[in-house]
Structure 1
Amino acid sequence: MSDYKASLQDMNFVLHEVFDVATDWQNMPALQDMMDKDTASAILEEAAKVAEGLVAPNARAADEQGVSYADKKVTTPDGYKEAYRQLAEGGWVGVTANPDFGGMGLPKVLSAQYEEMLCAADISFSLYPGLTAGAIMTLDLHGSDELKDIYLPRLAAGEWTGTMCLTEPHAGTDLGIIRTKAEPAADGSFELTGTKIFITGGEHDLTDNIVHLVLAKLPDAPAGTRGISLFVVPKFLVNEDGSLGERNPVSAGSVEHKMGIHGSATCVMNFDAAKGWLVGEPHRGLAAMFTMMNYERLGVGIQGLGAAVRSYGTALDYAIDRRQGRGAKATRDENASADSLMVHGDIRRMLLTMKAFIEGGRAFSSYVGQQLDRSKYAADENQREDAERLVMLLTPVAKAFMTDTGLEATIHGQQVLGGHGYVREWGQEQWVRDCRIAQIYEGTNGIQALDLLGRKVVGTRGELLKPLLADIAAILENVGAGWELEAGQLKQASAELQRVTGEILHKVGEDENLVNSLAVEYLHLVGYVSYAYLWLRMGLAAQAADSSDNFYSAKVKTARFYFAKLLPRIDGLIGALDTGSAPLFEHNVEDF
C-alpha cells in the first residue's frame, strides 16, 4: 500500500482556475470576510497534513483489526481513539458547523476537498466525523434554540458524535412502514421504543456521548411517510449544567460483520423507552432528515472518489516500478531484461480510466458543492434558485455515479497489480471492499436512479434538467481553438440527452414500467455527459495556463482521453434507453 498524498495542486486548480470560487465567496455576505483564495489553500494544506500523517498510516492495521463488541460496548481499532481526539482538538470535526456554535463554517465546495482527503486516508475512520457533520447540520436547521445550545457546541467540538437512525429490520427504503414509536412524556420529552439497524457509529469508544437522530412515529401519526417525526436521543442524558447524567436506555444489540469498512461500527440499536426530544415539526421528520441525507449523499459519492484516489496511487507506483514483459520496440528499455508495466497499452487504459474518473469526480463534487453554497449563501435570489435546482438534480448523480465509477476505478487498480492486487499485502483489495458499500447505503444506486429519473426529471417534466443544459450550452459558446472535436462531442451528447428525455416524457404515460426499467442507464447518461462538460471546462482552463507545466499539459491530455475513450460509452446507454421496458418485462416470473 503506497503512502497517501493529497492532490493539493489539482484541488486548487479545480477550485480557483475552473470554478473561481473566491469570486463567489466575495459575493456572499456570509463568507466574504472569512474566505479567500489564500485562506482556502492554507486550510487544504493543513487538512492534508491531518489526512496524510494522522489518519492514513493506520488504515491498513485498522482494517485488519476491525471493531469488537462485548457486553453492549464497541471498541474501535487501535489508534482510532487517539486520532479522533487529535482531529477534534484541531477543530476538524466541525469544519462546516455554524461558527456561532464553535464550527469553522467552511463552504461546502472547500469541505468537499477535506472529505475526499479523509476518505482516501481511511473511509472507516471518516464515517465518525462525517455522520456527526450531518447531525450538526440537521439540528442547526431544524432544532429548537434549546436543543442547539445543548448539543451543537459539543458536536462541533468533536466532544460528542452523531448518528442517523432510519433503517429497521423490516423497513429499508420504505420508511413509511417503520415501527419505532415515540410516546409523549409529562415533561415534554418522548419515550422512543424500537429497533434500528445498520447504524454507523451507533456505539463506540471515541467520545463520551453519542447523539442519535431517530425517525419514529407519534401515536396520532398518519400512515406512510407523512407520519414520521424526528427526535434527538442522546446515549447519556444531559444535565442542566451541560454535564452528562444517567444512561439513556438505548444500546447496541450487536455489530455487523461486513465485507469492508471494518473500522466503522455498524450497529443494531435498541431503544427501550429511551428519552428523546422532538426536532422540528411533528410528522415532518423525513423532510428534516433529508437535509442531512442530501449532504450525506454527496459525502458518500466522495467516499467512492476517495477509494479510487487511494487505489490509483498504489497502482501507479506499482506500474512504474514493476518490470514484466516487453513493450513495442519504440518503448523498449534495451538496458533491462524487461520493461515497466507502463509500456503496455492495457495498463495505460486502466490507469487513465482511473485518472479521468478521479479528476472528473473531483470536479463534479466541487461543482455540486459550489451549487450547495450558492443555494445557501448567494445574495441574488435567482442564483440561489438555479443552484437549488441543480442540487436537486445532481445529488442522486453524485451519490450513484461517483460510487459506480469509484468501484470501477478500484477494480482497475486491483487489476493493475495482478495477483498482488488480490492479496492483502498491497492493500488494493481493501479499497475494493471499502468502496463497495458506497453503492448500497444512503439509498442504493438504483434508488438514486429512480429519484433522478422519476422524481427529478419526469416529475418536473424535465424542468430540473434545464440548468445543467444551460451550463453546457454556455461553455460551448466559449470554446477555444483546438477543442472543436470535443465541443462537437459534448454538443451531440447534450442533444441526445435532451432527445432521450423527451422520448421518456412522451412514453411514460403509456408504460408504467418505463421509469424503473430505464433509470440506471439514464443516470449514467447524465453522469457521463456531466463529466464531459466538466472535462471541457478543465481542458480549457488548463490550456489557458502555463503549457510548459507538466500538470497542465497532463490535464489537457486526460481531457482528450475522456472524450476519446470514456464518453463514447453513452452510445450503448442510449441504445439501451431506446429499447424501453419490454426486454425486462417479457419474462414471466417462472422464466427466471
Structure 2
Amino acid sequence: MPQYNPPLRDMKFVMHELLHVVDELKLCPKHADIDEDTINAVLEEGGKFCSEVITPINLSGDAEGCVLDKTTHEVTAPKGFKEAYAKYVEGGWPALSCDPEYGGQGLPVMINQCMYEMMNSANQAWTMYPGLSHGAYEALHAHGTPEQKSIYLPKLTSGEWTGTMCLTEPHCGTDLGLLRSKAEPQADGTYKITGQKIFISAGEHDLAANIVHLVLARLPDAPQGSKGISLFIVPKFNVNADGSLGSRNGVYCGGLEHKMGIHGNATAQIVLDGAVGTMVGQPNKGLAAMFVMMNAARLGVGNQSLGLTEVAYQNAVAYAKDRIQMRALSGPKALDKAADPIIVHPDVRKMLLTARAYAEGGRALATYVALQLDKALSSDDEDERKECEDEVALLTPIIKAFLTDNGWIATSHCMQVFGGHGFIHEWGMEQFVRDARINMIYEGTNTIQSLDLLGRKVLGDNGKKLKAFGKKIAAFVEEEGTNEAMQEFINPLADIGDKVTKLTTEIGIKAFQNPDEVGAAAVDYLRVVGHLTFAYFWARMAKLALEKKDGGDPFYTAKLSTARFYFAKLLPETASLIRTARAGLQPLMEMEEALF
C-alpha cells in the first residue's frame, strides 16, 4: 500500500523563506495576528490527519467504490469514508478559512490551500466531498441573502452539511448556455425545479446529514443562452425556518457514473423532479454567482494534481532506492548486492526529478496564488486588492491546466519507475494515474482554460494583466543580472520572458484577422506561460538555495539540484511549444471534414 509523508519542510520553505507570508498577511487587518508558529502547528496537525486517517482508506476506497441503492436512491461511500469525515468535522478542519461570523476560524486561504494539498495527496476521492462544500460556501458567502447565509453557512462551515454544484446536463457540458433545467416560480417565493444533471461530484452520499445542491436552471421567461441562467439552492432535505431538517426534497440520485478513476467519490446523475429551491442572487444572473464556486474549484483541481504529483513522487523514490535491477553503465555501485538499485540509472532519475520539479514548482505557484487571493479578499488597500484580483485571474487557468497536465506526466513517470509493479493495483501507482486523468477534464477542460488565458485574460485586456506580472519577473531579472552565481537561472528566465512577449504579440495580430487563431495556439501558449511562471519561482528558490546551501542543511543542496534539473531538462520544452503555436491555424483546418 502506498505511503504518504506530508512535505512540511518544503511547505515551510515556500511560505516563510520564499514568500514571507506572515509579513504579507500582517498587512491585512483580519490576519494581523497571524504568526509562523500558528501556521506551522495547524499544518503539522493537518498532516497527521492526512497520513493517519485518510491515506489508509485510499486504496481500499478505490477498490470498493460507491454503492447506489436504486430503491431508496441513497449512496453508501466506501468503508471508512464516513468515519474519516466525522473525524474531519470533529477536528474543525472544514472551518479553517471560513468567516468567524458563521463559525469559521478565519485563517488565511493559503493555509487551507496547503491543507488541501495534503488531503489530495492522501486521498483525492475522499477530499472531493469537503472540497465541493467549500466551493458552495464561497458562492453563498458572496451572493446569498442574509437569510440564506444564516441558514446554510454555519452548517457548511462546520461540515455538518456538504455542498455540490450542479451544472452539467446530458446534452451540454462547458456550453452552459444550452442547459434546459426549468425553474417555475411559486406563490411562496420558492421555485419548483425540474431537470437532469450529470457528472455531479459528491452528488449523493452518507457522510453528512444534508447535501446543499447549487443548481443552474432557467426561469420560464428567461432569454436564450448564458444570459438566461439563474442559480438556486436545492437541499436534499428541505430546511425549516429554524434550520432543522424537514421533508425529503425532490432531488435524488438516478445513477452513478462508472469512471476511470476517483472511484471513492460518488459522481452522480442527479434528477430534479419538482424540487423546491430558492434563488441565489438576481434572476438570469446565475453564472456570475456560480463563477465564484467555479473559480474556487479550478484552483482546487490544480491542487488535486499537485497532491497526486507529490505522493506519486514519494512512493516512486522509495521504490527506486529499494528495487535492484542491472548494474550502472559506469560500473557497479552497490557492491554488496547482486545488482544496483534502479535510482542509479539516469532515466529513472529523470522521471523522479521531473515529478519532484513539478511538485515543488507547483507548490510555490499555488501557495503564491493563494496568498494573492488572501490579499485580494482582506487588504485594506483598494489598489492592492485590484492588483491581486487581476493576478489571481491571470494565474487561475495556469494553476488548473498546467498543474494538471504536469500531474498526468508526473504520475505516469512515477508508475513507470515501478516497471510492471506499477501496473498492479496493490502498489497504488496506477490509481494515482487514473485519478490524475480526470483533473485535466473537469471544471473546464484544459483547452477551455487555455482559451480563457489567451483569449480573455491576455488578449482581452491587451496584455495588461500579463504585463503587470511580467514586471515582477523583469525586476527580479534586473536585480540578479550581475550576480554571477545566478546566471544559469536568470539568463533562461529572461529569455523565456522575451519570447512570451513576442509570441503574445504575434498571436494577437493573427487573432485580429481570424479569431480561430486563438484556438489554434491556446493550448501550447498556456504551457509556455506556465513554464514562465515556474521558471520565475524556480529562479527565486535557486537564489535562496545558493545563499544557504553551505550551512549544512541538505534541503538547500537538493533544492538547488532540482532547480538546475528544471532549467536544463524541462524548461527547454518551450522551444517546441513556441514553434507549434506559431504554426497557426492552417495545418489544423486544411483538411475537409469529410476526409476525417
Shorter-chain TM band: over 0.9
Question: Contact 2:373–2:389 (CA<8 Å) still a contact in 1?
Answer: yes
Q: Deviations over 1:360-410 (max 9, x none)?
A: 011111111111112111222222111111111111111000000001000
Give the secondary-structure state (helix, strand or coil) at the position aligned to 2:571: helix
Q: Which residue of 1 aligns with 2:592?
A: 588
The structural deviation recorded for 1:64 is: 0.6
Alignment of 1:154-233 (within 5 A): 154-233=155-234
Partner amino acid, structure 1, of 2:54: V
User: Which residue matches 2:334?
Assistant: 333
- Within a 5 Å distance, the mapping from 1:440-589 to structure 2 comes to 440-479=441-480, 480-545=483-548, 547=550, 548-589=552-593
- Does 237-246 or 123-132 show the bigger shift? 237-246
Instruction: Tell me the equivalent position of 2:145.
Output: 144
1:331 and 1:361 mapped to 2: Cα distance? 36
Equivalent runs, 1:30-49 vs 2, <5 Å: 30-33=30-33, 35-49=34-48
TM-score, length-normalised on structure 2?
Answer: 0.98
Query: Residue in 2 aligned with 1:66?
Result: 65
Give the match for residue 249 of structure 1: 250
Q: Which moved more, 1:463-472 or 1:408-417?
A: 463-472
Instruction: Describe how 1:273-292 pairs up with structure 2 within 5 A.
Output: 273-292=274-293
**What percentage of residue pairs aligned between the two structures are identical?**
49
In structure 2, distance between residues paired with 1:2 and 1:168: 36
Deviation at 1:331, TM superposition (A): 5.8
Name the SS of the counterpart of 1:336 in structure 2. Answer: coil
- The residue aligned with 2:84 is 83
Q: Deviations over 1:434-492 (max 9, x none)?
A: 01000001000111111111111121111121122012112112224411121010001
SS in structure 1 of the partner of residue 485 of structure 2: coil
- Bigger CA drift: 419-428 or 474-483? 474-483
For 1:98 and 1:271, how far apart are their aligned partners in 2? 31
Superposed counterparts of 1:117-136, under 5 Å: 117-136=118-137
Q: CA 1:581/1:320 → structure 2, altered by over 3 Å: closer, same or farther?
A: same
- C-alpha separation between the residues in 1 aligned to 2:173 and 2:49? 35
One-letter amino acid of the counterpart of residue 27, structure 2: N
**Residues in 1 aligned to 2:220 and 2:514: alpha-carbon distance in whole angstroms:** 39
Contact 1:96 1:133 in 2 (8 A): no
Question: TM-score, with normalisation over the residues of structure 1?
Answer: 0.98
- C-alpha root-mean-square deviation of aligned residues, in Å? 1.1
Moved more, 304-313 or 321-330: 321-330
The range that moved more, 459-468 or 310-319, is: 459-468
Distance 2:331 2:465 in 1: 51
* Deviation of the 1:116 alpha carbon: 0.5
- Equivalent pair of 1:328/1:343 in contact (CA under 8 Å): no
Structure 1 contact 331–343 (Cα < 8 Å) conserved: no
Tell me which residue corresponds to 2:28: 28
- In the TM superposition, residue 287 of structure 1 has moved relative to its aligned partner by 0.7
CA distance in 2, matches of 1:251, 1:337: 60
- Matched residue of 1:483: which SS? helix
Deviations 1:271-325 (A, max 9, x none): 1111111111111110111111111101000111111111111110000000100
Residue correspondence of structure 1 range 375-390 to structure 2 within 5 A: 375-390=376-391
1: CA distance between counterparts of 2:257 and 2:538? 40
Cross-structure match for 1:53: 52
CA contact (8 A) 1:25 1:36 kept: no
Residue 19 (structure 1) shift: 0.5
- 1:81 and 1:333 map into 2 onto residues whose CA distance is 47
Q: Secondary structure at the match of 2:439?
A: helix
Q: Contact conserved, 1:308 with 1:354, CA < 8 A, in 2?
A: yes
SS of the residue 2:98 aligns to: coil
**Runs of at least 5 residues in structure 1 that lack an aligned partner in the other structure:** none
Give the whole-Å Cα distance in 1 for the aligned partners of 2:98 and 2:218. Answer: 28
1:2 shift after superposition: 3.0
C-alpha deviation, 1:330, in angstroms: 5.7
CA distance in 2, matches of 1:451, 1:512: 13
Following superposition, which runs of at least 4 residues in structure 1 exceed 3 angstroms of deviation? 328-331
Distance 1:546 1:318 in 2: 27
The DSSP-based 3-state class of the residue aligned with 1:494 is helix
Partner SS state of residue 545, structure 1: helix
**Greater CA drift, 344-353 or 363-372:** 363-372
Paired residue for 1:324?
325
User: Is residue 271 of structure 2 the alignment partner of residue 267 of structure 1?
Assistant: no
Contact 2:521 2:582 in 1 (8 A): no
Task: Provide Cα deviations, 1:399-444, integer angstroms capped at 9, x if missing partner.
Answer: 0000000010000000000000011121100000001000001000
